[in-house]
């Protein structure tokens, strides 16, 4: 794959661009301090995220109608609160916690890398998060997207092929002109099946330092440790 053929970079967001786990833990801790409530916030973040794929799978498989990720997040949160001794949390607190997904902090290299990559390439999110979530994450972190693509624009969730195809189509490009950037091999595999180029970004801290793993062997077009390294590799 030659960088000269690529016109757009499309990014997974949760885990690839932003540190969802650290951000959710910090939001939970801040709420806990205010309300005088203690719980295992890292455990809550992990339990919340564990319901993410199963909830999307039901929509993808059409066993439930289209539902925005924001609403799936809220349902999943309510489902796990009893396990963390928080079943009496009021509506406002639930809404505030759910909104933590709108204000996730970027990984330290993200803004610098994207700023360099934007000089040469169209930059788009290609996320299972809704457009409204992407727009707010970008404003929170200063992410310079050209387009905030959310899976709702394809009315399905990754890795459904039509999500990738819809993103390329809206950008006015063939899949071969797009490079999918993600920290998750399954996402890259699905994008590759649709013709996208692939760039694996290693995010060892996504699930916390205790679960950090070294860079794996992959067969993707690029494999890098940061967005700034990706900018180096793509000559930006």
Please give the residue ranges that form the binding site for a second copy (CB under 8 A).
70, 122, 124, 130-133, 135-136, 138-139, 146-148, 150, 152-153, 170-173
Q: How far is the CB of 119 from a second copy (least distance, A)?
A: 10
Burial of 205 (0-12, 13-18, 19+ CB in 10 A): middle
Q: How far is the CB of 206 from a second copy (least distance, A)?
A: 26
User: Is the peptide bond prior to 179 cis by the omega test (within 30 degrees of 0)?
Assistant: no
Q: Cα–Cα distance between 156 and 165 in angstroms, integer?
A: 12
Nearer residue to a second copy within complex by CB, 37 or 118: 118
Q: How far is the CB of 38 from a second copy (least distance, A)?
A: 31
Evaluate whether 11 touches 127 at the Cβ level (below 8 Å): yes
Nearer residue to a second copy within complex by CB, 93 or 132: 132
Q: How far is the CB of 147 from a second copy (least distance, A)?
A: 5
Nearer residue to a second copy within complex by CB, 58 or 99: 99
Q: Record the tokens describing residue 235, joined without a space.
A: 């000559």
| Percent of residues in the chain assigned helix, strand, coil, to nearest 5 | 50, 15, 35
Nearer residue to a second copy within complex by CB, 33 or 139: 139
Nearer residue to a second copy within complex by CB, 46 or 146: 146
Q: Cα–Cα distance between 73 and 6 in angstroms, integer?
A: 34
Q: Cα–Cα distance between 118 and 112 in angstroms, integer?
A: 10
Burial of 2 (0-12, 13-18, 19+ CB in 10 A): exposed
Q: How far is the CB of 148 from a second copy (least distance, A)?
A: 5
Radius of gyration of the chain (CA): 18
Q: How far is the CB of 45 from a second copy (least distance, A)?
A: 23
Q: How far is the CB of 123 from a second copy (least distance, A)?
A: 10
Nearer residue to a second copy within complex by CB, 23 or 124: 124
Nearer residue to a second copy within complex by CB, 143 or 188: 143
Nearest to 20 by CA among 75, 100, 76: 100
Nearest to 223 by CA among 203, 202, 207: 202
């Amino acid at each position: 794959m030659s960088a000269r053929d690529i016109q757009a970079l499309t990014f997974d967001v949760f885990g690839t661009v932003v540190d969802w786990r650290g951000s959710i833990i910090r939001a939970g801790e801040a709420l806990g301090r205010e309300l005088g409530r203690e719980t295992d916030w890292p455990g809550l973040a992990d339990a919340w995220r564990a319901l993410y794929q199963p909830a999307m799978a039901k929509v993808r498989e059409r066993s439930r109608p289209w539902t925005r990720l924001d609403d799936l997040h809220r349902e999943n949160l309510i489902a796990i609160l009893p396990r963390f001794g928080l079943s009496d949390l009021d509506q406002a607190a639930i809404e505030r916690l759910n909104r933590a997904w709108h204000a996730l902090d970027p990984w330290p290299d993200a803004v610098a890398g994207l700023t360099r990559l934007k000089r040469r390439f169209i930059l788009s999110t290609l996320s299972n998060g809704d457009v409204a979530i992407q727009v707010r994450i970008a404003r929170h972190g200063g992410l310079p997207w050209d387009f905030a693509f959310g899976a709702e624009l394809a009315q399905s969730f990754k890795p459904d092929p039509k999500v990738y195809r819809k993103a390329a189509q809206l950008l006015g490009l063939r899949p071969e002109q797009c490079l999918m950037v993600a920290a998750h091999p399954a996402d890259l595999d699905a994008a590759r099946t649709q013709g996208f180029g692939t760039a694996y970004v290693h995010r060892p801290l996504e699930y916390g330092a205790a679960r950090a793993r070294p860079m794996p062997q992959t067969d993707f077009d690029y494999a890098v440790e940061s967005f700034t390294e990706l900018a180096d590799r793509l000559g930006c």
